[in-house]
Structure 1
């Protein structure tokens, strides 16, 4: 029996590689079910590393990659381990002495497999060693049987029992040996690479009469109830000793796969393929193949090949993994909710390997990516910005699938900052913009006139437009200084917005447009210049015509001064307005001679907002000091 002190010489062996991450564990180790096993372990790390807050260790089962979430066998920081290892494991070594020896109690066949150690020295100094120790948990002892049992030739049969549990030492007995001629027994203790095995060899010379006889090996632990037995059947040849099958494999859904099984025995055994408890195929031969066509996920699982020739039976299993792309996710139906509601969107699917689930809103990532077959997206107090299409995307290495739903968020109307009244050339223009769902209605109210303006009132220029959940209303008050009967101003405008969830009314602010005021000033100066130009042009043309045709200019002047002619041509103001321009940018005026050739109907000047000579000097104007020239 060995103790922890036997590990000390190992430090001398690995001293030359002490500057690297290294691990020593036995590659193979065995134990009996319900007993215990000690896995000797020594680790090294680079000499330049100073452990931060001590040294911690983790033992993993099956694989060394933490990101794949292998079962945790032991962890120094916490007692949280895999369910199958709770209360079973203990660290016998001192990690500060670089000893990571592990004890596993009450083991079962499900604990058979590879064990990996991970050292945590703090910070980024965390390392999982690639070396592993593979544990084989036996439910019966091993008997070493030669390939052939030849009559009259000395035969050695050896029974082995692992001795890797420090609290229990096994003993071996042979059974059914009374009929053997001169049997001899010899025991031996083997300790190779700190893996201990107890063996007992039975030596005798078989005879043909012994063909078909049974021999048994019993392993037991004194002072316990643990007993393990193994029986073999003697034959002049040999009993089944090995069953070979394919290694565990992966196959895509819809494809075909063939599982092979070969049994070494004489005579040939009966071979049967099992899926769980269901027998799929059997044949009496040395090998048998099981073909599976158009494989479905339901056929994933453990397949066992059993060989039995009547003198013994053996079996070996493999795991067939069926891979397939994610199924179309199942999500909530489309929803219409009120602003402030709390939602939980569910998405579930299946796939192999397990797919990742991603939630997207209008093509943008929302929430977290989940590596599971179910994902829940929680939305607390949804806002109008939460309105849109939500899509759950399921992906694995074999494909992707997605499902979508729409969420419509309804909310009370909100007045937008673009809402205001502005002085324009034609008068005052008021705009009211609101966002809401359902889209709000917009009305204007003139409190000084006690008038409500909407689509049913056409006394003013009223215009509405909707774009998505935004409604826009606009009115134009034709005169900037329109007076009411009580001396008030019509620019006192209120806007009312409403939908099913609320109503809001505000007074719109009046804002002066700098661009418009500049146009008024420039227009005034330009108007005076145009008047001077027209008068000069008229005089110049009149003077030339007087020389050539007498005095035709006098006729033109008389036309301009004739009030009857002015009144008649005033009706044609729309045509000239096109020349002047609707937006106040005045068009250039041609020569008076050209106007005469085109039979100019009139040239009229109208001053708006300027003081007339007849007005008393004390009269208050309307607040706009400008002159506007219109061609009518």
Structure 2
């Protein structure tokens, strides 16, 4: 529940015995006057001092005067004693004794103020019936008043009127102001600062003779090392009991409740007062978003909250630039359409006069890679070393990949800069180089072309070949710039670079590759078993070099291979067709109800059908072919031509669009079938096939 302040074992309670007090006062006055007179009898000059003093004393004694507390308090439902002493002029003699009246609110009877107490009768205002009593002896000039069971409605000014009979009545302008409290008062400093010692004092009035208040502090369990002390103060004929709580507050105590409880032992009277601690402290924490990310072009809000008392001046800063501020406990900064330039450290600062504190966060702006910056396209000489640079920006940092003609070259780099080293570049290094930048938000690329120039190089396809009508020489070379090709016949001292009556000269350029070809047609220039009758040199050249090579002769084998392969292929095709014809004819006969008859052939592969009435079905089921009869011989002849070119065996090139009108196949030694028709004059059997 709390802690009690130490009780006063010897609480002095002042009994307002005005008669005794008056007697003491008179004795003091008499003693002082007698002493002064005794001292002054020894000297004449004392007479000059004594006369004015006596006049002053007599003048005071001749005035209407009252002594009562200006302020007095009591707890509601308790009692209060208002001490009072009055004086009247010495020349006034009370008529039938001294009487008195207490008024509430104002001193003028003609305004009919409420009567609180009256010595002559018990007629009082209804709110005071049975509550008031004159404790003092008016004859002894003691006008002390007791009010029981006071309530808030009894708070106010109280005036005393002395009535000595006849015209000797006087209402004193001085008053006692009563405050009826429903809860005790707590003396709280105007400003409570954290980490500085604090004293809180709880007060309770002690102006009721029959009730003694006790003070207890509540909700002190969470306080650090609290200390308690009690005191009793009597001043101006009123008494106050107090209890002081001492501790050192911390920021955590801000907003906490503290309570003071006043109770009266052996009664049910309990009064409480709660206060909320308002602890002033410097900012002790500044909370902001954790470091956050935002996509370029989007919006983001940065929050800041400062724990301090009083509320601080909060400001947001980006670098040294203050973006916004306000006097609040929290402040939010909104950034719209964010750009990469806004990436960086943002600081929230809290300042409330008691201290300063700040916290920062890092705002990362994410964006896809920018278009990479690469070298310009270039032309270099073979053997040159190059360094290709690729730089870009992106967040997160992109991966950079170098591609040559679409294929990976070099290493993949996770950075904003990549360098591709090309040591001793070769002609194969010629091509397009592309730098590809990628991150999770997108990709971008840039490319450059590298052209490698080099001296001409003879290709292995360069040679002389025997063909049907002579010798054909081919010279192929690559180089950059593209090489120039010439043929030189040293035996004839002839340079061939154009077509004349004896030689066909042909040249062709495809990029960096040049091809030259001549054909030696005259019989005197044909080959013998050991080589050509005429030596052929090929000369290749460009700005970087020249080279001349004797071309070797190679026997052409493609003509013979074409004849052999063509023959085998033709026979296989014919055999396939015949087998197909035989199969179809057999099925047609079976379908038309003819009994199956086995036919014995000397060559089982040559199986056919000669049934004329099956011609229509035969046309639909026999696969169309273009290799029959005399066409086979023409195929063999076409495999070799004047230029030595040939078609692969079984090739249908040039014949696919020809329509077969008639084919006659003749086979010897086969036995005729019963009912077979179509026998020729020479006794051979054949099948007649027509196809549209």
In which range does the TM-score fall when normalised by the shorter chain? 0.3 to 0.5
TM-score (norm 1): 0.46
TM-score (norm 2): 0.42
Rg comparison, structure with higher value: 2
